[in-house]
Amino acid sequence: MWPLVVAAYQGLPDFQKERVREMGFGSILEIEPFFIDPPLIQAVRERWDRASQAFLFPWGHMVPSLEDVARITGLRVDGEAVTGVTYADYTDLAQDLLGLEPHGDDLNDRRVVGRVTLLGSLGLAKVRQRADEPLPDFVERAAGLARAVYSQDRTAVERVDRDLRRFLVFFFGKMLFTTKGDGIHSRFLEVLGDLGRVGRYAWGAALLAHTFADLSTGTGRETTVGGFAPFLQVWSYHYLPLGRATVVRPDAVPLARRWLPLVSTATYTFQLEVLRQHLRMVWEPYADHGDADQPWVVSGRPLVGRDIWVHCLNEIEPLRLRLAARTLGLYQGWCEETEPRRIGRKTRGKAKMVDWRARFPEQYADWQRGGQLVESDAPDSIAYLRRIQEEYGHRDFMRPQRDGRNTLIDQLQGQLASLEVQLIEAHAALETLRAAQLTGGRADTAGASSSRGAPAPEVASIQQQLSAAVERAECAERDLLARSEELRDALARETDTAAELTQLRSQLTQRGSELPRKVSELQALLSLERRDLERQQTRWEQERSR
């Protein structure tokens, strides 16, 4: 749906586009649609911890922040909270503001606008991308269809406001605050009643609240995420050496415009396992980034580095940056506290009129105060790293699975050797097919010359089959070559890491207490790694002796 939303935006008259930009949505809508990477999102998503409202990795907690939202999407993260009243029945609002009927007659349907109905009102109900149609051409064609139904007369205030609200409901439902259902919820209609106020709201904070709520209600195995899915994908590019993407516009803002994602043949779960804290992580990816041409970053600066409740109407979630103090340039201490009071799923989904400001006044007041500044008096992060392993080390994804016989380097070498054998076999099969194709072509040429006629249908069919087989074999060979390069790179990185750790271990022995704090943290990690390996070795020996 992302390309269709962009097409609906591009089809707007210039004066309507200017209104959308004044609302703060121009930057995110001008991001060219790109490949959404489901395996990457799943690999990161399954590490979400509902209790702490943070991602859990072997090196500790990580939390997307308001600064991440502002820099990646270009949305405003300061201003009025996106909160207010939600209703059990949106029939009257949908008719008055959109000129549309609800999705159906039952209670749930009266809170939803039908996707097909809304697309029809935008002129996009039957548009489909053709099999051979490039995405930019499809977007341009769809924009033309939308342009034909929009009013071009800015003096027809009621009509142009209705057009704009229809577009914004589509934009919210199918790009910014996506959900799993086919229908589009009408909960933002009250906020859209006064179009002049829309630009005052913190829509970036609302996106973060919606993303957190979706992460906490899923099973952890989903391959997408509610909200603007590219946000979490690009967030991982900046903090984790994970996924395959190329920077194609190094100076573009917002940051989501810089990347060209590529399909990876390696599993991201495997890639996450080979990461090493301090050696591969990027804790402050924006340290060298300026604020030029990013007014949304400048205006949101007062909220950067603060714990705060973020609001998206019935989704009210805690942003707990104190769990990821290292992303703020601080040492990480352990936070002993109870799970924050969240807005339960049953409470959020109640089919009745609720004023969320009155229902949760403390959380609303926290936003108005600007939250609480994150501070840390920890002298280092060593105690935190040890506690992380004590509390969460039992989870499957917290450590690579190892035993006494095989190290990670051994596994990589084994995979690479196996792949090289497959590559040799694939190349031999390809050469055989090419030879058969060449022989068949010569025989056909000779036969056609002697008979002065076209090749027999049976011969032509065999030639087509051979050509298709050669193409498939060439594609398989390219895939194997790409996978081989990935494994070689991973093996080289792991070998370098092992050498670095060996060197650090030697330095630790020589320098003792004079070591810098960050190296001391590595010492703590090495100790944990050593203890974990010893446990695995003991377990393997016990199993072997049975």
The per-residue DSSP string of 264-300 comes to: -SS-HHHHHHT--TTTT--S-TTTT---TT-HHHHHH
Instruction: Give the integer Cα–Cα distance in Å for 395 and 477.
Output: 37
Could you read off the pLDDT of 262-271 as tens digits, one per residue?
655 555 665 5
For residue 375, pLDDT over 60 is answered with yes
The whole-number average pLDDT for the span 223-251 is 85
Percentage, residues of the chain above pLDDT 70: 71
Instruction: Give the integer Cα–Cα distance in Å for 504 and 146.
Output: 61
Q: What is the DSSP letter of 360?
A: S
* Residue that wins the pLDDT comparison between 182 and 178: 178
- Max CA separation in the chain (angstroms): 92
The whole-number average pLDDT for the span 101-117 is 80
Residue 545's pLDDT is what?
63
Residue 459's pLDDT is what?
64
Pick from 174, 201, 227: which residue ends a domain?
Answer: 174
Compute how many other C-beta atoms are within 10 angstroms of the C-beta atom of residue 506. Answer: 10
Residue 432's pLDDT is what?
76
Do 165 and 54 lie in one domain? The reply is no
Instruction: Give the integer Cα–Cα distance in Å for 23 and 147.
Output: 21
Q: What is the pTM of this model?
A: 0.74
Do 17 and 45 lie in one domain? The reply is no
Confidence of residue 431 (pLDDT cuts 50, 70, 90): confident
Instruction: Give the integer Cα–Cα distance in Å for 145 and 127.
Output: 8
The whole-number average pLDDT for the span 288-317 is 94
Do 218 and 324 lie in one domain? The reply is yes
Give the Å distances, CA to CA, from 306 to 28, 65, 214, 303, 371.
24, 9, 22, 6, 6
Instruction: Give the integer Cα–Cα distance in Å for 139 and 403.
Output: 52
Question: According to the 3-state scheme, what is the secondary structure of 369-422?
Answer: HCCEECCCCCCCCHHHHHHHHHHHCCCHHHCCCCCCCCCHHHHHHHHHHHHHHH
Please tell me the least confidently modeled range out of 128-137, 340-349, 364-373, 530-539. 340-349
Residue 181's pLDDT is what?
76
**Half-sphere exposure of residue 291, counting CA atoms within 13 Å on the CB side?**
9
- Domain assignment present for residue 54? The answer is yes
- Domain assignment present for residue 147? The answer is yes
* Residue that wins the pLDDT comparison between 430 and 158: 158
The whole-number average pLDDT for the span 148-153 is 96
Q: Are 32 and 259 in contact (CB under 8 A)?
A: no
Pick from 346, 367, 400: which residue ends a domain?
Answer: 400
DSSP secondary structure string for all residues of 232-266: HHHHHHHHSS-SEEEES-TT-SSGGGGEEEE--SS
* Residue that wins the pLDDT comparison between 46 and 485: 46
For residue 101, pLDDT over 50 is answered with yes
Confidence of residue 403 (pLDDT cuts 50, 70, 90): very low
Instruction: Give the integer Cα–Cα distance in Å for 159 and 149.
Output: 11
Residue 277's pLDDT is what?
42
- Tokens 């209670």 correspond to 107
Of the spans 58-67, 332-341, 505-514, which averages the highest pLDDT?
58-67
- Tokens 């500790």 correspond to 60
The residues pairing with 373 across neighbouring beta strands, listed in sequence order, are 306
Do 25 and 39 lie in one domain? The reply is no
- Domain assignment present for residue 183? The answer is no
Do 287 and 195 lie in one domain? The reply is yes
Which of 285, 281, 276 shows the shortest CA–CA distance to 258? Answer: 285
- Domain assignment present for residue 396? The answer is yes
Instruction: Give the integer Cα–Cα distance in Å for 533 and 404.
Output: 7
Do 395 and 431 lie in one domain? The reply is no
Q: Are 237 and 271 in contact (CB under 8 A)?
A: no
Which of 435, 454, 433 shows the shortest CA–CA distance to 444? Answer: 454
Question: According to the 3-state scheme, what is the secondary structure of 431-486?
Answer: HHHHHHHHHHHHHHHHHHHHHCCCCCHHHHHHHHHHHHHHHHHHHHHHHHHHHHHH
Confidence of residue 100 (pLDDT cuts 50, 70, 90): very high
Do 195 and 142 lie in one domain? The reply is no
- Tokens 């203890």 correspond to 531
Do 416 and 393 lie in one domain? The reply is no
For residue 400, pLDDT over 50 is answered with no
Instruction: Give the integer Cα–Cα distance in Å for 49 and 195.
Output: 37
Do 360 and 278 lie in one domain? The reply is yes
Residue 467's pLDDT is what?
77
- Domain assignment present for residue 180? The answer is no
Do 285 and 156 lie in one domain? The reply is no
Tell me the two tokens of residue 99.
């000129």
Preceding amide of 134 cis, omega within 30: no
Of the spans 156-165, 209-218, 337-346, 427-436, which averages the highest pLDDT?
156-165
Pick from 149, 174, 199: which residue ends a domain?
Answer: 174
Residue 404's pLDDT is what?
36
* Residue that wins the pLDDT comparison between 512 and 139: 139
* Residue that wins the pLDDT comparison between 466 and 100: 100
Residue 466's pLDDT is what?
72
Q: Are 114 and 169 in contact (CB under 8 A)?
A: no
Do 362 and 228 lie in one domain? The reply is yes
* Residue that wins the pLDDT comparison between 261 and 212: 212
- Domain assignment present for residue 181? The answer is no
- Amino acid letter for position 195: L
Compute φ and ψ for 184, nearest 5 degrees: -120, 120
Do 108 and 149 lie in one domain? The reply is yes
The whole-number average pLDDT for the span 111-131 is 91
Which of 151, 159, 156, 149 shows the shortest CA–CA distance to 121? Answer: 149
For residue 449, pLDDT over 60 is answered with no
Residue 401's pLDDT is what?
44
Compute how many other C-beta atoms are within 10 angstroms of the C-beta atom of residue 269. Answer: 13
Q: At CA 235, angle to CA 340 and CA 231, rounded to 5?
A: 85
- Domain assignment present for residue 182? The answer is no
Q: Domain span at residue 372?
A: 34-84+191-400
- Domain assignment present for residue 185? The answer is no
Residue 465's pLDDT is what?
72
Please tell me the least confidently modeled range out of 247-256, 359-368, 413-422, 455-464. 413-422
Could you read off the pLDDT of 6-28 as tens digits, one per residue?
999 999 999 999 999 999 999 99
The total of structural domains in the chain comes to: 3
For residue 63, pLDDT over 50 is answered with yes
Confidence of residue 527 (pLDDT cuts 50, 70, 90): low
